[in-house]
Amino acid sequence: MSDILRQDELVYVAPTEAPPPRRPPALMVGPLGWLRANLFSSRTNTLLTIITLLIVGWLLVSTGLWALRDAEWTVITSNLRLLLVGQYEPSQLWRVNLLALALLFLCGISISLWAKVTRAVLLTLIVVVLVMIVIPLGAGQLPPPSIRFIVPPDSEPAPLVFVGNAGEPVSVLVEPISSADATAASPVFVGFIENTAGLSNSRSIWNDVKAKAASGALDLSQYDLAFTIKLVDTAGETIASAEATPENPRVRLDAALPADGWYGVIAEKTDGSAGYAWVRLDGVQTFTTQSGDEAERIERYGLIPDTICPVGVRCRQVAERDLRFEGSRNLATYLSVQLVPFLNAVILPVIVGALIALGGSWLGYEVKRRNSVVKKTVSRWVVLAWVALLPVSWFVLRGIEGAATLPVVPTATWGGLLLTLVLTAVAIVLSFPLGVLLALGRWSNLSVVSGACTLFIEVVRGVPLITILFFAKLVVPFFLSASADVDQVIRMMIGLTLFTAAYIAEIVRGGLQIVPHGQIEAAHALGLNALYTTRLIVLPQALRAVIPAIMSQFVSLFKDTTLVSVVGLFELLGIIDFIVNGQQQYRGLQREAYLFVGVIYFVISFGMSTVSRWIEATGVGAARR
Amino acid sequence: MNEQHPQHFLGDTIIECRNVNKWFGEFHVLKDINMKVREREVVVICGPSGSGKSTLIRCINRLEQHQEGQIIVDGIELTNDVSNISAIRREIGMVFQQFNLFPHLTVLENITLAQRYVRQRPRVQAEEIALSLLERVGIPEQARKYPGQLSGGQQQRVAIARALAMNPKIMLFDEPTSALDPEMIKEVLDVMKELARSGMTMLCVTHEMGFAREVADRIIFMDSGRIVEIGTPEHFFVNPRHDRTKLFLSQIL
Amino acid sequence: MFVVLFVRPDPSLPRPVQSLIFGAAVALPFVAVVLISGLRAQGRTGIPFFRNVVFLRDFVQAVFLFVIFVVAFTLAANLFDNLAASGLSINFGVIERKFGTEVTEGPDPRQPLEFLAAIPVVGQSLAQATVLQPDTVFRALLVGFINTLRVVALSLVATTVLGVLVGIGLLSVNWLVRTVSAAYVEIFRNTPLLVQLFFIYGGVIKALPSRPREAMELPGSIFVTGRGLYYPAVIATDAADIFFLSLLLGVILGVGLWRWRLRLNERTGKPAYAVRYFLLAVLGLGGVGLALSLLGNGMPFVLDMPQVGNFNFIGGASFSAEYLALFLGLTLYTSAFVADIVRAGIQSVAKGQIEAAHALGLSNVQTLSKIILPQALRLAVPPLTNQYLNLTKNSSLGIAIGFTDIYNVATITYNQTGQSVALFAILMVVYLSLSLLISLVMNLFNSRLQFKTR
């Protein structure tokens, strides 16, 4: 303490022993400190935090609730094949699968050879696959949701038809139209609502019932219908029946289905009294849980027989797609109906794919551990494989004329994600050398060459891509001799390639300008001619400098493939647009469709950007030995 | 009265630090700093890198914020109060290691900007002051040029002129010559010496021991965040008392 | 170059041979010139012409010329042959034909241009031109162009504002704001514009009820339906003259006051408050004008509120659903890129600058406006130009949702007439000019901002 007094004077000497270290005040560090510094450091900051929390919270919660409760994801799950490969000949899909597996294998081995596979990445992969296996297994134990349909007082309800398999237990219950929490204004139910009045969707039915209840035309506590409930098989024979009367409103039918095929539930009224009744059908698997495709269903079970659904009667099929319903959808139902079928459909490919990728990865890891000669040879083979992948894929996908094992699958049938990826890959591979050539041409001293290249680049960059694509589609055939009938897809590839090449040329030009002029002078002084200088000195430096910009242009190209949908091709966006706007049963599901597609694009795009940032960080030029 | 400079009388305490402590996260960067600077005094702070010297003087004009203790400048305590901070900053001029001139303005505009918008002087008056200061630091002919067109030494002199144009009572220097080529250090040090002789209160962080010996009234030696020794140049260089000081001086002299 | 016009290789020869002949004929003069000068140089300096650097360079160019013309001839000849075979021809007269289809946005191309008759001589002779008659393709293209401008102009402004806000948010002290901004940028950057357009148009706007009775009403009598946004139109009455006059006077006075205050600040150092004086003048004189017109002739403006009708709104002005969707899509998408550019620009200003400004006593606002922004703009202007150009070109995607911009109109015309080449040429000219205009303006801005260095 005496030391402090002495600091008033000119001279001070500290004690030899350093004072003990002290921790900062509590509010500075740790989670509290972080909160205070980052979120609540001043009045405006606190206000901002609160407002942002409210807005973002509301957005997230309402979107989440919509996605889980109200959204109909069958538009995706039922059309998975269309979305992934378009109308590619189904019997030849093994070729696409083969290529996909080869790609995964190459990815796995490349990552192992040339990068560090962190434990976090592996762990995430394993966890994801496990989750995808466990959920269907668990949800498989959940009972299928109930189907409810209304028996109205003023008309005969049409038969409810469904598909069943031998041995499946089915029960039919008749119950009054109420539940514990219901009031006249807001009856509540859980489950699916069938379309009873021919109304366009169940929201209208529901509104109808609610309106009638509110106006008093529907007395929820009254039940005075008398009708017979019958379960009939494909031949029209009654398997089980029960009679519901006003005195005995609750009846139950239990049956085990004798064989695979169509069945119907028919309600025949014995008198026309007022009131409503619910009929609840349990144990029926919706189509979404069995198979996704109408074509598959028809193939397996045939068409709806006349015996159950007479000609001219508009029968109700149990869930060609999930119908919307009101009230709360519990998580179990959601899982079993929406998610599980999707997972069931994709789990096998995912597992196989993951195994192959891991296998390749393991192989790469083993090779890396061996001596460098083996590593160099294998590296060279892998690079060759990547280079050969594109032309080989083209021939495998397209097929060769006259080949028995690889019949031609016309590119007009390609669609979905397959088409998107093919367009992107081809455009990337072709536009890069073309772009570099254009840039070198623009940069050269020869005025004719430079002028021509500049003209091409500026014109192509000045017009929107869609104009170029239309131009490619319409005008390219005119430029080639009349006998050449160029594929639509190839025309699009030409358009995309030319467009991207112009942008790449601009980017590379920037890189060429960055190379210090002294480098070129030194090269010339050493006696290297123009060709060598460019190839050995200028280009490597220029390209290395602009790799991030080039990668971002490729990501842009991937997103721009969506424009071919405006020109009439059915890549990923085009095909979902067709499904949602073209097919009656999926009308009104735009939000689900575009959101899903948007998420796919986002994931791939974001992934590509991350990879490019990773390449940039690790310095690919040096690593490419 | 000061032995070094009998021609100017040291005034009252104008900067006072009482038990100042600062942490960067968990790292305790300023430990129980207690010191005083009097008016017209020239104080040099030296020490090994990482000792907290720059942090200390940056705390004084609130470029960094201290967590414990008090800093009092010309009777005004440095708190979170915005008016206190502005008042203190008006009294203090700062010269940085990296000059930090505004590259999009000419030299003259660099010097007149703050005069016009903080001191609210008319443009003509601000320019007169700027030109006279440029003369004082020896480069009046560079007035219309841009900082990118000047050498490092010239830029730092402009930075000194820019700070002086605000008529501060105190000048803080944060290693002003560390980013300069050797031949330009002298011209900047000459300006600083002239400034000291004219009676400006100066608090300098520097490695230039020659400057310190010639001009400083006191030298503060810091190590690892605490003040180890304070002394006049005679005591400090000739007869250092703390072991750490002796070690430091043996390494640099 | 006249050679091009006169050389017609024998059509009976196979096409490749024709092209080679053509190319050779065009390139031959150049080769001859180059050869002669090479030989003369040889005579003068003794360097054999085939080793002469100058000769080699020119010779390569001549060869390149040869190649270009061979290719051009092949393509052009094919084009003309195929056009002839399919009965079409490149006919720019397509713009005089009747358009016929209804243009759903913007001014109606079927109305005669009455304002032209008011302009003496020039206007009246223009009014006679065939292309400007009602319902020609040219008029339709013009309307399409106006629609493009409408959506691009508003979108550019909105994008800049939103982009700057989000860009500043990316650098905020507040972690939450930073994260939300970063999420916004990543989401809207990585999703294709077309997907966003479809989502906004099909999933959001079209999902709204389209009957006026069910419309969502916002304060101020603004209605949002599935068909668009309806808002009150402001119509100037006869009494508006005085009001406009006084407003104009107010602006003039305001500008004068602004300059006076700036000079006062220079002379005496007192704060200028130029903006306040300007606003005072404009609002003051505007208020006086309003009062005068009220006293004299009545309200200068009438609000035409949209009334809820059975099938549509009666009165008021509207933004169509297509316009709204395109505007929102373009703005949200491009602003994500602009935000990142703004962030990079602000971050490029060295931290020491801000410290120096604070040490000098400049306030946060003064530091931002005088130190940070000028320097940030330097870095940001070229990539910003790029984004503005992209926005202009992306407006052509309106065709996917039915917005009748110039691209859509051109496509409709093509579908009617088959004149793809002519229309494509017109489109190219339009978009290139727009791009050129924007580039010019931004480059002017850019060159004024550069630093001067040694």
Residue pair C326/C197 in contact by the 8 Å Cβ criterion: yes
Sequence ranges of the domains in chain C: 2-85, 90-183+322-454
C173 has a chain A CB within 8 A of its CB? yes
The mean predicted confidence, pLDDT, of chain B is 89
The residue in chain B having the minimum alpha-carbon distance to the alpha carbon of residue A10 is B231
Residue C6: per-residue pLDDT: 63
Residue C452: per-residue pLDDT: 54
Domain CATH number, residue A321: 2.60.120.380
> Out of A469-473, A601-605, B49-53, which region has the weakest mean confidence (pLDDT)?
A469-473
Mean pLDDT of A415-428: 90
Instruction: From A293, A313, A328, give the residue that closes a domain.
Output: A328
Mean pLDDT of C55-61: 82
Mean pLDDT of A181-209: 46
**Rounded distance between C-alpha atoms, residue B190 and residue B138, angstroms:** 10
Residue A117: per-residue pLDDT: 61
Residue A59 has pLDDT above 90, yes or no: yes
Q: Per 3-state DSSP, what percentage of chain C is helix, strand, and coil (rounded to 5)?
A: 70, 5, 20
Residue A520 inside a domain? The answer is: yes
Residue A46 inside a domain? The answer is: yes
Helix (H, G, I), strand (E, B) or coil at C403: coil
For residue B228, which amino acid is it?
V
Instruction: From A328, A357, A381, give the residue that closes a domain.
Output: A328
**Rounded distance between C-alpha atoms, residue B110 and residue B164, angstroms:** 12
The mean predicted confidence, pLDDT, of chain A is 76
Residue A215: per-residue pLDDT: 67
Q: H or E segment at A296?
A: helix A294-301
Nearest CB to A474: which of C191, C396, C420?
A: C420
Residue B7: per-residue pLDDT: 44
Residue A610 inside a domain? The answer is: yes
For A497-507, what is each residue's pLDDT tens digit?
999 999 999 99
Residue pair B84/B78 in contact by the 8 Å Cβ criterion: yes
Residue B215 has pLDDT above 60, yes or no: yes
More confident residue, A186 or B230: B230
Name the token pair of A214: 């509110």
**Rounded distance between C-alpha atoms, residue B76 and residue B64, angstroms:** 17
**Rounded distance between C-alpha atoms, residue B102 and residue A271, angstroms:** 94
Name the token pair of C330: 């373009």
> Out of A10-19, A319-328, A513-522, B143-152, which region has the weakest mean confidence (pLDDT)?
A319-328
Residue C1 has pLDDT above 60, yes or no: no
**pLDDT exceeding 70 applies to what percent of chain C?**
93
Inter-residue long-range contacts of C27-30, CB under 8 Å, 24+ positions, other chains counted = C27/C62, C27/C63, C27/C65, C27/C66, C27/C69, C29/C3, C30/C61, C30/C62, C30/C65
Sole residue written with tokens 């020239």: B42
Instruction: From A54, A69, A84, give the residue that closes a domain.
Output: A69
Same domain, A293 and A179: yes
**Rounded distance between C-alpha atoms, residue B245 and residue C11, angstroms:** 99
Same domain, A60 and A157: no
Mean pLDDT of A583-587: 70
Residue pair B66/B43 in contact by the 8 Å Cβ criterion: no
More confident residue, C34 or C394: C394
Q: Cα-Cα-Cα-Cα dihedral of C218, C223, C228, C229, to 10°?
A: -60
Q: How many residue pairs from chains A and C have C-beta atoms closer than 8 A?
A: 161
Q: How many domains does chain A have?
A: 3
Residue A271 inside a domain? The answer is: yes
The set of residues, in sequence order, having a beta carbon less than 8 Å from that of A316 and lying 6+ positions away, is A149, A158, A159, A160, A161, A194, A195, A196
Inter-residue long-range contacts of A4-8, CB under 8 Å, 24+ positions, other chains counted = A4/B34, A7/B34, A7/B35, A7/B36, A7/B230, A8/B36
Q: What kind of fold does domain C90-183+322-454 have according to CATH? A: MetI-like fold (1.10.3720)
Mean pLDDT of C323-351: 91
Same domain, A415 and A532: yes
Residue pair A144/A164 in contact by the 8 Å Cβ criterion: no
Name A229's bridge partners. A242, A267
Sole residue written with tokens 């139109």: C233
With bands split at pLDDT 50, 70 and 90, how would you rate the model's confidence at B169?
very high
Q: In angstroms, what CA-CA distances link A353 with A105, A292, A349?
A: 8, 22, 6
Nearest of A217, A239, A110, A109 to residue A169 by alpha carbon: A239
The set of residues, in sequence order, having a beta carbon less than 8 Å from that of B178 and lying 6+ positions away, is B97, B206, B207
C57 has a chain A CB within 8 A of its CB? yes
Contact at CB, C176 and A563, closer than 8 angstroms: no
More confident residue, A42 or B130: B130
The residue in chain C having the minimum alpha-carbon distance to the alpha carbon of residue A608 is C190
Name the token pair of C344: 């990079």
Residue C185 has pLDDT above 90, yes or no: yes
**pLDDT exceeding 90 applies to what percent of chain C?**
17
Residue C257 has pLDDT above 50, yes or no: yes
Q: Which chains would you list as touching A if contact means 3+ CB atom pairs under 8 Å?
A: B, C
For residue A606, which residues of chain C lie inside 8 Å, CB to CB?
A: 186, 190
Residue A291: per-residue pLDDT: 42
Angle at C294 between CA C290 and CA C295, to 5 degrees: 120
More confident residue, A345 or B94: B94
Q: List helix spans (H) across A399-533.
A: 416-443, 447-462, 465-479, 488-514, 517-526, 530-532
Mean pLDDT of A555-583: 89
Q: What is the pTM of this model?
A: 0.77
C217 has a chain B CB within 8 A of its CB? no
Residue A195: per-residue pLDDT: 40
Residue A217: per-residue pLDDT: 62
**Rounded distance between C-alpha atoms, residue B159 and residue B184, angstroms:** 14
Same domain, A155 and A52: no
Mean pLDDT of A17-41: 77
With bands split at pLDDT 50, 70 and 90, how would you rate the model's confidence at B189?
very high
Residue ranges making up the domain that contains A64: 30-69
Same domain, A436 and A559: yes
Name C224's bridge partners. C216, C229
Residue A337 has pLDDT above 80, yes or no: no
Mean pLDDT of A122-128: 75
The residue in chain B having the minimum alpha-carbon distance to the alpha carbon of residue C450 is B104
Mean pLDDT of A558-581: 89
Mean pLDDT of C8-17: 72
Residue A198: per-residue pLDDT: 40
The set of residues, in sequence order, having a beta carbon less than 8 Å from that of C90 and lying 6+ positions away, is C83, C419, C421, C422
For residue A338, which amino acid is it?
Q
With bands split at pLDDT 50, 70 and 90, how would you rate the model's confidence at A276?
low
**pLDDT exceeding 70 applies to what percent of chain A?**
75
Residue C195: per-residue pLDDT: 94
Residue pair B91/B169 in contact by the 8 Å Cβ criterion: yes
**Rounded distance between C-alpha atoms, residue B230 and residue B218, angstroms:** 7
Nearest CB to C359: which of B63, B98, B120?
A: B63
Same domain, A489 and A614: yes
Quote the ipTM score.
0.81
Mean pLDDT of C177-185: 94
Contact at CB, C356 and B102, closer than 8 angstroms: yes
With bands split at pLDDT 50, 70 and 90, how would you rate the model's confidence at A495?
very high
Helix (H, G, I), strand (E, B) or coil at A27: coil
Contact at CB, C359 and B146, closer than 8 angstroms: no
Instruction: Compute the half-sphere exposure of residue A354: CA atoms within 13 Å on the CB side of its CA.
Output: 18
> Out of A222-231, A416-425, A491-500, C345-354, which region has the weakest mean confidence (pLDDT)?
A222-231
With bands split at pLDDT 50, 70 and 90, how would you rate the model's confidence at B187?
very high
More confident residue, A488 or A440: A440
With bands split at pLDDT 50, 70 and 90, how would you rate the model's confidence at A430?
very high
Buried b (16+ CB within 10 A) or exposed e, B77-98: ebeeeeeebebbbbbbbbbbbb
Q: In angstroms, what CA-CA distances link A290 with A203, A585, C39?
A: 25, 18, 85
Q: How many residue pairs from chains A and B have C-beta atoms closer than 8 A?
A: 53
Residue A126 inside a domain? The answer is: no
**Rounded distance between C-alpha atoms, residue A366 and residue A385, angstroms:** 19
Residue pair C238/C297 in contact by the 8 Å Cβ criterion: yes
For residue C22, which amino acid is it?
F
Nearest CB to C355: which of B100, B116, B123?
A: B100
Residue pair A12/B229 in contact by the 8 Å Cβ criterion: yes
Name the token pair of A12: 């001070």
Residue B214 has pLDDT above 60, yes or no: yes
**Rounded distance between C-alpha atoms, residue C263 and residue C130, angstroms:** 55
**Rounded distance between C-alpha atoms, residue A548 and residue A544, angstroms:** 9
Mean pLDDT of B12-24: 92
Residue A292 has pLDDT above 60, yes or no: no
> How many other C-beta atoms lie within 10 A of the C-beta of residue A14?
22
Nearest of C245, C240, C243, C214 to residue C227 by alpha carbon: C214
Residue A557: per-residue pLDDT: 94
Buried b (16+ CB within 10 A) or exposed e, B146-175: bbebbbbbbbbbbbbbbbbbbebbbbbbbb
Domain CATH number, residue A532: 1.10.3720.10
**Rounded distance between C-alpha atoms, residue B100 and residue B113, angstroms:** 14
Crossing angle for the helix pair C137-170 and C420-447, to the nearest 10 degrees: 40
Distance from CA of A311 to the nearest CA of C (A): 35
For A201-220, what is each residue's pLDDT tens digit?
444 455 566 666 666 665 55
> Out of A414-423, A479-488, B11-20, which region has the weakest mean confidence (pLDDT)?
A479-488
Q: How far apart are the first and last CA of chain B?
A: 29
**Rounded distance between C-alpha atoms, residue C14 and residue A481, angstroms:** 12
> Out of A137-141, A430-434, A516-520, which region has the weakest mean confidence (pLDDT)?
A137-141
Residue A590: per-residue pLDDT: 84
Residue A212: per-residue pLDDT: 64
Interface residues of chain B, partner chain A, Cβ below 8 Å: 21, 23, 25-26, 28, 31-32, 34-36, 67-68, 218, 224, 226-232, 235, 241-243
The residue in chain C having the minimum alpha-carbon distance to the alpha carbon of residue B96 is C356
**Rounded distance between C-alpha atoms, residue A320 and residue A341, angstroms:** 14
Q: List helix spans (H) across B165-226.
A: 182-197, 209-215
Residue C5: per-residue pLDDT: 58
> How many other C-beta atoms lie within 10 A of the C-beta of residue C41?
16
Nearest of B128, B183, B133, B188 to residue B157 by alpha carbon: B188
Residue A4: per-residue pLDDT: 40
With bands split at pLDDT 50, 70 and 90, how would you rate the model's confidence at C25?
confident
Q: In angstroms, what CA-CA distances link A32 with A37, A39, C103, C316?
A: 9, 10, 61, 54
